[in-house]
Chains A and B, each alone.
Chain A
Amino acid sequence: MLYNGHVFYPAEEKMISIKNLTKDYGKVRALDSLSLEIRREEIFGLLGPNGAGKSTTIKILNTLVKPSSGRAWLDGFDVVQSPLQIKERIGVVPQENNLDRDLTAFENLKIYGLLHHIQDLGKKIEEHLRSVDLWERRNDPVQTFSGGMQRRLLIARALLGRPQILFLDEPTIGLDPQVRREIWNTIRRIRTQGGTVLLTTHYIEEAEALSDRVGILSRGKLIALDTPENLKKMVGEYVVEYVDQDGSKVYQICRTREDAQCHLLQTESEMTFRKANLEDVFVKLTGARIET
């Protein structure tokens, strides 16, 4: 277990605190005693395969799911005891598209803005629709939008009330690389504007590109927590993959370049030599892969 990054922040720096959070669905334990702290203006990535407990964590924090045990606080407010205060502080981009498909982009944002008591709403809707390049399509029903456009609209909606904490559950799932990078830029911009971001992803590249720190979940448990660079350093920075003389695949994580070169000398077949990534950290810790 890699917990080197599990530091405890002073109260004024903490935006999210989670202590022994557990969620059971019948006999299935979706989340198992999760504890971590996320500081203000941090982009924190929860990485793990499907079913690891990432979405359950986000849903508990944004009040959609009640925990079986344990507690969590956002900006000092308990998520179970003070749901209204939590809801005033958060914006959520869910994994599923929960836009009203029959309604237009403008209508979707208007209803969200009224629900969140946002002042000067018309101006803010225009500003946010322009920021995701959807202003020209504001009067079109959402069901006529492409997947990428709907995703951008979800982000614009979540940002409409300038939330202190933004939850993004698999924000770029199913999107092409160009749209994915546009969304990454939007997420980075949120942090520069003073927001805190908690995102879940099973894309390794996404977690590495965006996160200040990463928590790796497996079967409901937090198995690693630190910056992407530190996590990689802890398991080894280089990876060698090749097929040996017996025909079996060799996959080796090496601490140094020299270690890796020793392996390279053992074979004449085609090989891969690369820098380690968070997928390798996950493989090292669990023996399984994240991305499928």
Chain B
Amino acid sequence: MNWYPIFLREMLQFKKKLFRLGYIFTSMMVPLLYLIAFGLGLGRSVQVAGGSYFNYLLPGLVAMSSMNNSYNWIASGLNLSRLYFKTFQVLVQAPIAPTSIIAGYVVSGMVRGLFASVMIILVGLLAGSGFHLSLIFILTLFLNCFLFSNLGVIVGMITKSHEDTSTYANFFILPMVFFSGTFFPIERMPALIKGIILCLPLTHTNILIRKTIWDDQAWLALLIMIAYAALFFIIGSRMIKNYSE
């Protein structure tokens, strides 16, 4: 339970931000715009995979939103804590293992990602989506939040200024949102680009989150997500262990 104080600290800060007017709307704005513009607007006249586009889009937006919120909360918060507020010093000077520090951050990032996901799902249900919660969906959602929270730790530790976190978001996270199957099936992409897309972790989240049965593709996507998550956790832990100002 050595991770708990870090989790508590992050949650206390989350709670204070949550009660500030506009916070929920700000964090929900981008996925809601996509949902309304693409899902309710364009989606009424488009069919994907034999179903409505709105039903296709909603799980993708949940994956995107959980990724963004988990990743951004940790990457940005850790970067500020390390470089500007210096509060990260308090954590690395505590007699706890580096894995406890990363675990505390990651669990808090997951809470944030899950919170945003629940909001999107509620909006989708209110808008008349035929969305069903399945065990695969829930597992994928948790794993996606875990994976991108760990990536957030790495970026938060590696960046040398707060502006750098935006650079990583613009050059890695944003393209991933558009090309990893959030808005359209990746099968439609040219073979070369498809090969690159299949290397991106969010692609496998989008594959798995839309599955209703455990077929070979689902198992492969799950294994790749677990491998990415484990790799990011190990790298993040080592970065915290080797931290030196």
**Which residues of chain A have a CB within 8 Å of any CB of chain B?**
59, 62-66, 84, 87-88, 90, 92, 94, 96-103, 107, 110-112, 114-117
- Do A116 and B89 touch across chains, with their CB atoms under 8 A apart? no
Interface stretch among B9-17, B62-70, B112-120? B9-17
What are 18 residue pairs bridging A and B, where the CB atoms are less than 8 Å apart in the complex? A59-B245, A64-B92, A64-B244, A65-B244, A66-B242, A87-B94, A88-B95, A94-B86, A94-B89, A98-B85, A101-B85, A102-B13, A102-B16, A103-B9, A103-B13, A103-B16, A107-B12, A111-B12
Q: Across the interface, which residues of A come within 8 angstroms of B4, CB to CB? A: 114
Q: Of A66, A87, A111, which is within 8 A of B8 by CB?
A: A111
Given contacts A99-B87, A100-B9, contact A64 B245 (CB under 8 A): yes
Contact of A115 among B86, B96, B243 (CB under 8 A): B96
Q: Verify A84–B9 contact, CB threshold 8 A.
A: no
User: Residues of B contacting A115 with CB < 8 Å?
Assistant: 5-6, 90-91, 94-96
What 11 additional pairs, Cβ within 8 angstroms, besides A98-B86, A115-B96? A64-B93, A64-B245, A92-B89, A98-B85, A100-B85, A101-B85, A102-B13, A103-B9, A103-B16, A112-B90, A115-B90
| Of B4, B12, B97, B243, most A-chain CB atoms within 10 Å | B12
* Residues 1-40 of B contacting A (Cβ, < 8 Å): 4-6, 8-9, 12-13, 16
Q: Are B93 and A90 in contact (CB under 8 A)?
A: yes
The majority secondary structure among interface residues of chain A is loop
Q: How far is the CB of A185 from chain B (nearest CB, A)?
A: 25
Residues of B within 8 A of A116 (CB): 94-95
Could you say which residues of chain B place their CB within 8 Å of the CB of A111? Answer: 5, 8-9, 12, 90
User: What's the nearest-Cβ distance from chain B to residue A96, in Å?
Assistant: 5
Q: Which residues of chain A are near B93, meaning CB under 8 Å?
A: 62-64, 87, 90, 92
**Would you call B5 and A84 a contact (CB within 8 A)?**
no
For B100, give the chain A residue with the smallest CB separation: A115
State the Cβ distance, B192 to closest chain A Cβ, in Å.
41
Q: From residue 76 to 92 of chain B, which have CB atoms closer than 8 A to chain A?
A: 85-87, 89-92
Cα-based distance from A64 to B87 in the complex (angstroms): 12
Contact B244 A98, beta carbon cutoff 8 Å: no
- Cα of A84 to Cα of B4 in the assembled complex, Å: 18
- When distances are taken between beta carbons in the complex, the residues of chain B under 8 Å from A98 are 85-87, 89-90
Distance in angstroms between the alpha carbons of A64 and B93 in the assembled complex: 7
How long is the Cα–Cα vector from A101 to B17 in the complex, in angstroms?
Answer: 13
A117 to B94, CA, bound (A): 9
**CA separation between A65 and B244, bound complex, in Å?**
5
Q: Which residues of A contact B5 (CB under 8 A)?
A: 111, 114-115
Q: A100 CA to B93 CA in the complex, in Å?
A: 15
Q: Which residues of the partner chain A approach B92 to less than 8 Å between Cβ atoms? A: 63-64
Q: How far is the CA of A66 from the CA of B92 in the complex (A)?
A: 13
Once bound together, how far apart are the Cα atoms of A95 and B85, in whole Å? 12
Q: Which residues of B contact A100 (CB under 8 A)?
A: 9, 13, 85, 87
A residues within 8 A CB of B6?
A: 115
Determine the distance from Cα of A115 to Cα of B16 in the docked complex, in whole angstroms: 21
| Shortest Cβ gap from A145 to chain B (Å) | 15
Q: Chain B residues near A97: list those with CB within 8 A.
A: 86
Q: How far is the CA of A14 from the CA of B93 in the complex (A)?
A: 22
